[in-house]
Structure 1
Amino acid sequence: MTAHEQIISLTERMGDSIIGQKHVIERLVIGLLANGNLLLEGLPGLAKTRAVKAMSTNLEADFSRIQFTPDLLPSDVTGTEVYHQAGGTAEFRFEPGPIFANIVLADEINRAPAKVQAALLEAMEERQVTVAGTTHKMPPLFIVMATQNPIEQEGTYPLPEAQMDRFLMKVVIEYPPVEDEVEVIRLVRGEEQRKNAPKKDGSDKPVMIPQEAVFEARAEIGQIHVAEAIDRYIADIVQATRTPGVLDADLARWIEIGASPRASLGLDKSSRAHAWLKQRDYVDPEDVRAIATDVLRHRIALSYEAQGDGMTSEQVIDRILTLVALP
């Protein structure tokens, strides 16, 4: 199988475990292919954790889940030096923390204090951890997928804008339509029945997607052609968040802080991954528009006037995409 066929197979297997969340599945796969970290935001019970587990279950990768709590310490995430005594000798050895995995689920990241968040985000950005003067590298395949609840704020530590910027995309998960919820009920019921059924020898278990397929896909994505006009289109979209008054007076009232250059880089990487999934060797403006909201929604700060007008980040981004000229 080609790398594309294997990644599509991964997407389809994830879809078998998660009903009605095609957008979320596609964004998780794009994050994996673009080598970026994702922030999943949604109400409890909307399959945020299940989505990440579905990817790790079908991919040949080590999975680690960190449940963030207010009493968590940075060393609980990164690991620490432990004193060992054996055979008359004694030494300090590094015991890796749960962040040393291929796919790391940072569950309810906004429940951890600032020091723990900073330790995690440093590892995300630098792809390494330094403990007692020694640097420990992350594995070649390393992605953090963090979740947070948008409504429960008591006992939480909201991520500052500068730290939110470290995430390639922020994916918002909505309630499923009633038809999909019926399928969810049947899916979970079937899983319970299979779990309680007599055990088989496991010979019918599907072969997991190898990590090499991800690396091959990333190499192919690196060769995707991006025209100069597309580069300018990406830059114009991001620039519009910084100088909104040039496009529209309302945008000038609504946007307080624009997106950083990380937004441009994120749009470039994500749009190339999106084009590759669609089996194209070039980036189309629709690739940029398809992922723009997820790349930008956590990188712009709305003003009090925008909140007073009932505007959301998604609506503001839609207005920008409408006003910025297509290449």
Structure 2
Amino acid sequence: MRLVTRAAAAALRLPAARTGRVTVTRDIPVRVRDGVTLRADHYAPDLPGAHCVLIRTPYGRGGPIRLLGRLIAERGFHVVIQSCRGTYGSGGEFAPLVHERDDGLDTLDWLRRQRWWTGAFGMFGASYQGFVQWALAAEAGDELRAMVAVVTASGTRDSTYAGESFALDTVLTWAELLQAQTVPWLARQWELKRGQPRLVRALAHLPLAEADRVATGVTVPFFQEWLRHHTPDADYWRTRVFGERITEVRAPVAMVSGWQDIFLPAQLDDYARLRAAGARPRLVVGPWTHGSPGLLLASLREGLDWLDTRLAGRPAPQRAPVRV
């Protein structure tokens, strides 16, 4: 794996590694307040006094994110990658946005009890991995020293109803992706090779209340709820969006987005609100969609640079607050 990370770092032209020795401990149990056990992997660099980077995700802890964990750890950070509730070995049921605040705070409390904890941490992640950052950020206080929020926003409701119409492609495609994580790998690859015919049929299906079953074979609770609770003032969304407290976030935030990204309007609003509150976030926007390779490369370079300067306090060239 060390050779793979070295090759990846060279190909991506990332900053030089500070260590090649990383110890990985997998499936660490983290018990949260309601008794549910979440599972996490810990990437520990062979360096004293290294701060921590937390990544909470519903997309698993293998594949590309395993490589990401090593890349960040080799640059001098402890990395904890945790599966969100109800995903990839973590207990409980996955209900988007419902438990992320409490589970995030309980995970932070667990971090504080680790012998390698230094009293400071950062967060990194794209899309839903960014939602969980905003869920925790306002209450993390001064211990949170840096955030890297990629194609994400503090408030998900407006992107779900872009222009006040239901974002069917965004929501149904995501529901299908989450359900696909529960099927065997070969079956998933065959579905992708066929062009996802079930999803294509579902996107054209009426009534919309049946589209989730057409796409996935099961009723998806959050899809049904998001169809019902569509009004801007619906109580349903009050505990599922985190934008009301964005001005309380003290950590410096780096934002990376794309001109064609689904969350760009909401992310630009987050940037404007932070600036109005006196913060100095960094914003990078390029010619990318939600999953563009160029976006992933930019987020790695910008993210590692931000963690180096804001979390580790290492010197770096002065950069403009906005790059497009």
TM-score, with structure 2 as normaliser: 0.27
TM-score, with structure 1 as normaliser: 0.26
More helix by share: 1
Higher relative contact order at CA 8 Å, sep ≥6: structure 1 or structure 2? 1
